[in-house]
C-alpha cells in the first residue's frame, strides 16, 4: 500500500470516529503550558517562499514552492501525514495545474481543528502603476499566512498539540482578475467539493491572510462574525489579554470575500478569517497600500505582527481547547 493510500486510511478512521459530544465553539482555560512562537523563524519562512519568485500557477517558481512546502511539512508532520491534492482548473486562457497542501498533526485525535492560508501569489499587480502584468512576490498576501503555519508546524513536531490539527494550504486563491470573483478561490473550491476526507468536520477553522505586514490591523471580519462569533470573541479576547489589542481591534471590520466563505458555505465548517484590512465608512474593505502591488515584498514584513498572530494561536490551541 502506498503512502497516499495509507494517509487516506487513517483519515477515514478519523472521520469515522468523531465524537457526538464535540465541545464545539466553547472555550475554557486549561492551565497547560504554551510553547513560544519564534518570529525570526516565521520571518525566514516568508523569505524562503519569496526567494522562489512569484508563486504563480503554471510557472516553475510555483512548482518549486510546492516541492518546498511538501518537504517542509513532511519534515514537521511525518511523511505519512502529508497529502498534496493535485487538480486542474480552467484559468483564463490556460488550464492550471494546481495543488492544495494538507498536513495532519496528532493524527489519532478524533477531535480536530483546521488552520488555513493560501500559498499561491497573484499573477498580476493590478493595483500597481508599473509592471502590472507581472506576478507579485506576495510576501504578505499568501506568504505570511503560510509562514505562520510553517512555524506552528515546527512547534507541533516538538510539542504535539492537545487536539488534532490539520493545516490546509489552498492554491489558486488569488488567480482571478478584479471585477469578478469567478476565478478566485480555486483551491478552496476544489477542496470543499472534493474533500480528501469525506465527512471531515473539525470543530472550527481559522484562515490567515495577510498576517505579516507592518502597521497591520485585524478588525473582526464580518463573515467570520456570522459563521463563528464565539471563536472570534475568544481569539480577540486572547489577543487583548496578551497585549495585542493594537493589532486585533475590538471593532467590526468589513465583509471580505476569501477562502473562508467557500469553506463555510460549501464544506459547512465554521471558520473565521484573520486578515489585515480596514472598514471604510461605507462598509467596504480597504487593504494596505502594498496590496496587489510589487511592494508586497520583504520590506513590509514585520516579525512583530507575525509574532502576535502566532502567540494568539498557540494560546488558543494549547490552552483553551
Ligand atoms: Zn490577494
**Domain assignments of the chain as residue spans, ordered by start:** 2-13+35-319
DSSP 252-296: B-----SHHHHHHHHH---EEEEE--EE-TTS-EE--TTTTSTT-
Structure confidence at residue 126 (pLDDT): 97
Task: Check whether 76 has a pLDDT greater than 80.
Answer: yes
In this prediction, residue 109 carries a pLDDT of: 96
Q: How far is the CA of 292 from the centre of ligand 1 (A)?
A: 6
- pLDDT score at 22: 52
The rounded Å distance from CA 273 to ligand 1 centre is 14
Give the CA angle between residues 290, 67, 135 to the nearest 5°: 30
The rounded Å distance from CA 216 to ligand 1 centre is 15
Give the global pTM.
0.94
Q: Give the separation between CA 104 and CA 36, rounded to whole angstroms.
A: 20
Fold of 2-13+35-319: Aminopeptidase (3.40.630)
pLDDT band per the 50, 70, 90 thresholds, residue 232: very high
Distance of alpha carbon 271 from alpha carbon 205, whole angstroms: 4
The larger pLDDT score, comparing residue 185 to residue 19, is at: 185
**How many Å lie between the centroid of ligand 1 and the Cα of residue 174?**
5
Residues 161-181, mean pLDDT to the nearest whole number = 97
CA 18 to ligand 1 center in whole angstroms: 35
CA 152 to ligand 1 centroid distance, Å:
23
Q: How confident is the model at residue 19 (pLDDT cuts 50, 70, 90)?
A: very low
Indicate the helix (H) or strand (E) that contains 95.
strand 95-105
| 67 Cα to the center of ligand 1, angstroms | 22
Share of the chain above pLDDT 70, in %: 93
User: What is the Å distance from ligand 1's center to 117 Cα?
Assistant: 11
- Cα of 185 vs centre of ligand 1, distance in Å, is 10
CA of 147 to the centre of ligand 1 (A): 16
What residue has cell string 512576490? 137
Please report which confidence band the pLDDT of residue 23 belongs to, taking 50, 70 and 90 as the band edges.
low
Range in 18-27, 89-98, 299-308 with the lowest mean pLDDT:
18-27
User: How many angstroms separate the alpha carbon of residue 140 from the centre of ligand 1?
Assistant: 9
**Segment 266-287 mean pLDDT:** 97
Q: Which of 286, 284, 267, 266 is nearest to 276 (CA)?
A: 286
Whether 7 shows a pLDDT value over 80: the answer reads: no
Amino acid at each position: 500500500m502506498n503512502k497516499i493510500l495509507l494517509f487516506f486510511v487513517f483519515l477515514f478512521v478519523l472521520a469515522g470516529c468523531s465524537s457526538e459530544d464535540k465541545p464545539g465553539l466553547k472555550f475554557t482555560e486549561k492551565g497547560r503550558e504554551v510553547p513560544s512562537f519564534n518570529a525570526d523563524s516565521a520571518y525566514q519562512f516568508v523569505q524562503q517562499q519569496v526567494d522562489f519568485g512569484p508563486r504563480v500557477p503554471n510557472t516553475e517558481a510555483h512548482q518549486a514552492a510546492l516541492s518546498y512546502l511538501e518537504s517542509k511539512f513532511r519534515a514537521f508532520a511525518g511523511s505519512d501525514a502529508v497529502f498534496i491534492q493535485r487538480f486542474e482548473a480552467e484559468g483564463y486562457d490556460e488550464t492550471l495545474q494546481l495543488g492544495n497542501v494538507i498536513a495532519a498533526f496528532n493524527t489519532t485525535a478524533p477531535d480536530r481543528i483546521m488552520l488555513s492560508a493560501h500559498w499561491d501569489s497573484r499573477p498580476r499587480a493590478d493595483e500597481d502603476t508599473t509592471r502590472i502584468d507581472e506576478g507579485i512576490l506576495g510576501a504578505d498576501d499568501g506568504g505570511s499566512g503560510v509562514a505562520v503555519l510553517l512555524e506552528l508546524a515546527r512547534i507541533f513536531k516538538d510539542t504535539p498539540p492537545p487536539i488534532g490539527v490539520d493545516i490546509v494550504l489552498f492554491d489558486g486563491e488569488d488567480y482571478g482578475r478584479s471585477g469578478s470573483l469567478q476565478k478566485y478561490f480555486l483551491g478552496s473550491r476544489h477542496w470543499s467539493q472534493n474533500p480528501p476526507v469525506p465527512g471531515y468536520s473539525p470543530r472550527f477553522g481559522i484562515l490567515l491572510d495577510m498576517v505579516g505586514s507592518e502597521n497591520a490591523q485585524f478588525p473582526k471580519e464580518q463573515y467570520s462574525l456570522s459563521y463563528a462569533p464565539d471563536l472570534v470573541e475568544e481569539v480577540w479576547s486572547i489577543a487583548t489579554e496578551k497585549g495585542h489589542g493594537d493589532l486585533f481591534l475590538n471593532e467590526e471590520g468589513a465583509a471580505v470575500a476569501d477562502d473562508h466563505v467557500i469553506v463555510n458555505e460549501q464544506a459547512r465548517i465554521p471558520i473565521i478569517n484573520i486578515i489585515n484590512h480596514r472598514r471604510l465608512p461605507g462598509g467596504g474593505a480597504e487593504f494596505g497600500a502594498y496590496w496587489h502591488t510589487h511592494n508586497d515584498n520583504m520590506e513590509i514584513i514585520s516579525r512583530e505582527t507575525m509574532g502576535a498572530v502566532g502567540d494568539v494561536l498557540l494560546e488558543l490551541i494549547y490552552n483553551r481547547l
